[in-house]
Amino acid sequence: MHRTLSGPDGHPALLLFMNRFDFIIVGAGSAGCVLAKRLTESGQHRVLLLEAGGSDRSPLIQVPLGYGMTYADPQYNWMYTAEPDPAMNHRALYWPRGKVLGGSSSINAMVYMRGQEGDFDDWRDAGNPGWGWSDVLPYFKKSEDHCWGASEHHGAGGELHVSDFTDQVHPLCERFLKAGDALGFQRTSDFNGPTKEGFGLWQMTIRKGLRESTAKTFLRSAMRRPNLTVIAHAMVRRVVIDKHRATGIECTIDGVLQSFSADKEVILSAGAVNSPQLLQVSGVGDAAHLQSKGVPVLHHLPRVGQGLQDHLAVSYFFKSKVPTLNNSLGPWYGKLWAGMRYLWDRKGPLGMSVNQAGAFVRSRPELERPNLHLYFNPISYTAGSAPVGKRFQLQNPDPFAAFLISFNTCRPTSRGSVLINSPDPLAKPRIETNFLTTEHDRQDILDGSRLLRRIAAAAPLAEVISSEHLPGAQVQSAEHIFADFGQRAGSVYHASCTCAMAPDATHGVVDARLRVHGIAGLRVIDASVFPAVTSGNTNAPTIMVAEKGADMVLQDNR
């Protein structure tokens, strides 16, 4: 059998594949590409990597600012929609997820953020030995090629290049940082270094003006290996389970049902939505729910799909007296200039993310850790981020000078779920967010709103603000703040925790070695195994989980 797929050099490559492998990885995303690289390094294991999406070669993916276009493109995006949430004024929030080689690492905002050290100590203390900060730091460093070189906190020579954009960010970022100074917050030069709290600039997974997805950094070189087979546009329908052991998968390729056997393990790396969905349609999940959807129960595992967490943010928009990126990227001639600049030296607005500065802060002095994650973007999209029919756009900034400051709670305590609606693996699952169902989360929303106003009122940022565009100065009371939040807040696209690590099947789906409780030969290795969402962006922690998970797979299959 064969399938034509783009090879490492961009030319068609004829990949020969058989039906039997040592390992089958479902999902060539942030985790799956890392696993494919690591599991094939020795040359001893035959690995099959299956991806529902296609090539990541598009300029919309490779050019950093192109993610505003892939935000709404079904060619690269699953384009999920969550169920209407009472806390969101009964709105159904849009949930983009990568459906392409590289997964969400091919369509995200490219911020490299590991999270607070305590995030991982919490994982360990929840009954998952080996997942504390001291355990996971070596795996963050293993994959990293930091522009500052190797140090106690950073790696060099790894696959994933991490860049510093201090000399390229918009001048308004410095005003934001100085506003933090004026309010008594500390600064940090490195959110992934010794000081992870304070105001600072984000580091980004960009190399020489091009996106560093895991497809580009991990998978591309591994595709040259004869023991790796990669099949794109492969829709996995179920995991084949025989007597409580995973033995392979069934998938559809070009409309034809195919079966592949795994002599050692099947590894689900399909993400926080698709991994629990695939388990459920395969007969692994809560028995009552599976029976209600017509799925034969092979193993009762009640926490599959439960425990969903995400970061929920709202943006406050301010009209500016000085030019912002709206002035640069709004007019046609500004777009032309940005394009020419990018072609010249791969710099300028197109060569980086618009998410340029931010902070991790404690809104109340008695807190032990930062509880708020802030974002500063020298651009605004109030007119261009609304739904358009069944599609969404994030392409044109507002036709006036403006910027935004956003916030989300670092460690929300509300939990949702991802549950199948039918036995059809191609039917989208039901995503229940259950946002703001705890007083902890509601208090952080009030704190965040009031802090953003304090930052905007602090010099020198206040000096360039002509007015608060949204939500407007009239929104002050707790009642009005929550009403506005429910009307405008949205996901930050950090879905996780739906196949969580826990020491037993009552509290989770996988054990500390990422093995599915009660099913031999089956693991989940992606963001769904987080016991709790990390404080910041989730792409770097997902890559870390894959690095550590790959070691576990190889150790357990010696």
CA–CA distance, 387 with 72 (Å, rounded to integer): 10
Q: What is the pLDDT of residue 383?
A: 55
Residue 65, pLDDT above cutoff 60: yes
Q: Quickly count: other Cβ atoms within 10 Å of residue 291's Cβ.
A: 11
Residue 100, pLDDT above cutoff 80: yes
| Domains parsed from the chain with CATH numbers | 15-55+96-149+205-310+413-432+493-558 (3.50.50.60), 166-201+312-409+436-488 (3.30.410.40)
Q: What is the pLDDT of residue 253?
A: 93
Q: What is the pLDDT of residue 14?
A: 37
Q: 541 pLDDT band (50/70/90 cuts)? A: very high
Residue 7, pLDDT above cutoff 70: no
Q: 151 pLDDT band (50/70/90 cuts)? A: very high
Coil, strand or helix at 341: helix
Q: Inter-axis angle of helices 117-125 and 133-143, to 10 degrees? A: 130
pLDDT 10s digits, 434-483: 999 999 999 999 999 999 999 999 999 999 999 999 999 999 999 999 99
Cβ atoms of 519 and 246 closer than 8 Å: yes
Helical (H) or strand (E) element with 484: helix 478-488
Sign of CA dihedral 390, 396, 398, 404: positive
Place of tokens 């807040």: 489
Q: Per the omega criterion (within 30 degrees of 0), is the bond before 74 cis?
A: no
Q: Read out DSSP for 87-120? A: GGTTB--EE--B-BTTGGGGTS--B-----HHHH
What is the pLDDT averaged over residues 121-127?
98
Q: What is the pLDDT of residue 381?
A: 87
Q: Which residue has the higher pLDDT, 26 or 68?
A: 26
Residue 389, pLDDT above cutoff 60: no
Cβ atoms of 233 and 101 closer than 8 Å: no
CA–CA distance, 16 with 448 (Å, rounded to integer): 54
| Residue among 23, 58, 64, 51 nearest 347 (CA) | 64
Residue 12, pLDDT above cutoff 80: no
The structure tokens listed for 530 are: 């987080």
Q: What is the pLDDT of residue 72?
A: 84
pLDDT 10s digits, 237-255: 999 999 999 999 999 998 9
Cβ atoms of 76 and 99 closer than 8 Å: yes
CA–CA distance, 331 with 348 (Å, rounded to integer): 16
What is the pLDDT averaged over residues 424-431?
96
- Cβ within 8 Å of residue 345, ≥6 positions away: 209
CA–CA distance, 466 with 441 (Å, rounded to integer): 31
Counting every residue written for the chain, the total comes to 558
The three-point CA angle 509-302-420 to 5° equals 95
The structure tokens listed for 468 are: 């608060």
Sign of CA dihedral 496, 110, 411, 145: positive
CA–CA distance, 48 with 266 (Å, rounded to integer): 10
| Residue among 490, 492, 505 nearest 533 (CA) | 492
Residue 318, pLDDT above cutoff 60: yes
Q: 420 pLDDT band (50/70/90 cuts)? A: very high
Residue 71: phi and psi, rounded to 5, are -55, -25
Please compute, for residue 511, the number of CA atoms within 13 A of its CA located in the half-sphere on the CB side: 13
- Cβ within 8 Å of residue 243, ≥6 positions away: none
Judge whether 153 counts as a catalytic residue: no
What is the pLDDT averaged over residues 487-491?
96
Cβ atoms of 328 and 40 closer than 8 Å: no
Average pLDDT, the chain: 94
Q: Which of 153, 494, 507, 517 is catalytic?
A: 494
pTM, two decimal places = 0.95
> What are 383's strand-pairing partners?
none
CA 81 from chain centre, in angstroms, equals 16
What is the pLDDT averaged over residues 406-418?
98
What is the pLDDT averaged over residues 345-351?
94
CA–CA distance, 152 with 131 (Å, rounded to integer): 19
pLDDT 10s digits, 271-309: 999 999 999 999 999 999 999 999 999 999 999 999 999
Q: 390 pLDDT band (50/70/90 cuts)? A: very low
> Hey, what's the torsion of the CAs at 250, 251, 257, 261, to 10 degrees?
-40
Cβ atoms of 330 and 383 closer than 8 Å: no
| Residue among 259, 253, 280 nearest 428 (CA) | 280
First-to-last alpha carbon distance for the chain, in angstroms, is: 29
What is the pLDDT averaged over residues 210-236?
97
What is the percent of the chain with per-residue pLDDT over 70, rounded to a whole number? 94
Residue 395, pLDDT above cutoff 80: no
Cβ atoms of 168 and 352 closer than 8 Å: yes
Q: Which residue has the higher pLDDT, 402 or 332?
A: 402
Please name the residue ranges forming H helices in 109-171.
Answer: 117-125, 133-143
Q: What is the pLDDT of residue 138?
A: 98
CA 401 from chain centre, in angstroms, equals 29
Residue 385, pLDDT above cutoff 50: no
| Residue among 93, 56, 49, 46 nearest 525 (CA) | 49
Q: Which residue has the higher pLDDT, 388 or 96?
A: 96
Q: What is the pLDDT of residue 69?
A: 87
Residue 421, pLDDT above cutoff 50: yes
